[in-house]
Amino acid sequence: MNQIRFYLEDVSRLLGELPAEQLDGLVQRLLEAYDQGRQVFLLGNGGSAATCSHIVTDLQKCIYLAGNRTFRAMALTDSIPLITAWANDTAYEHVFAEQLRPWVQPGDLVFCVSGSGNSPNVLNAARLGREMGAYVVALAGYQGGKLAPLADESVIVRCDNMQRIEDCHMVVLHLLFWRMLQVVEARGKEPA
């Protein structure tokens, strides 16, 4: 029981250390992207890939239902045929950057999710996103790895346990979505 309590308290502590003001700023960036018809791309490996896929379902479906306008969000983790084609025909480190290349535009948002902050395929996507004029957001753990300095903005869970890092990344992305949803719903209730 003590180990279970420790885990719960440690995740709570890590979440409590995250900068609320920075997260509020990211909500504003998401709202601007939504209002301007910009795209949001999410990418990561393993558990981070699952997190990206999950959040895109919330951003696409729930924001549309609340605001009657589609939020152009895409998880670059979801096309297994395209991922395996890039990996097989070039190299695995290209699977996200080459998916991003045809779609990303200046002013779009690219969320790079990497527990270690050192995954080569995530780093390449961050570089390409910046080159193409997108705003790159890193969600990382440990000390941010090589990803943090490549991003325009980084949210770093200062921990060396991958499961807790991934827990916190999911909460951060759910929080950003939830705050955005609240704003979109409130706009729908305002008198015309």
CATH code for position 43 = 3.40.50.10490
Residues sharing a CB contact under 8 Å with residue 69, sequence separation 6 or more, in sequence order: 34, 63
What would the pLDDT profile of 97-121 be if each residue is shown by its tens digit?
Answer: 999 999 999 999 999 999 999 999 9
| Beta strand extents in the chain (DSSP E only) | 39-43, 72-75, 109-114, 135-141, 153-157
Among the listed residues 79, 117, 72, the one whose alpha carbon sits nearest the alpha carbon of residue 98? 79
pLDDT < 50 regions, the chain: none
Residues sharing a CB contact under 8 Å with residue 143, sequence separation 6 or more, in sequence order: 117, 156, 158
Q: Tell me which residue range forms the domain holding 113.
A: 2-189
SS3 of residue 105 by DSSP: coil
For residue 192, the model assigns a pLDDT of: 58
For residue 188, the model assigns a pLDDT of: 83
Give the whole-angstrom CA distance, residue 29 versus residue 21.
13
Q: How many CA atoms lie within 13 A of 61 on its CB side?
A: 6
For residue 189, the model assigns a pLDDT of: 74
Four-residue CA torsion sign, 142, 13, 17, 75: positive
154 forms bridges with which residues in the sheet? 138
Give the whole-angstrom CA distance, residue 172 versus residue 131.
26
Among the listed residues 153, 150, 133, 123, the one whose alpha carbon sits nearest the alpha carbon of residue 44? 123
List C-alpha distances in Å: 1 to 5, 13, 129, 167: 6, 18, 45, 20
How many separate domains does the chain show? 1
**Helical packing angle, 20-35 and 162-189, nearest 10°:** 50
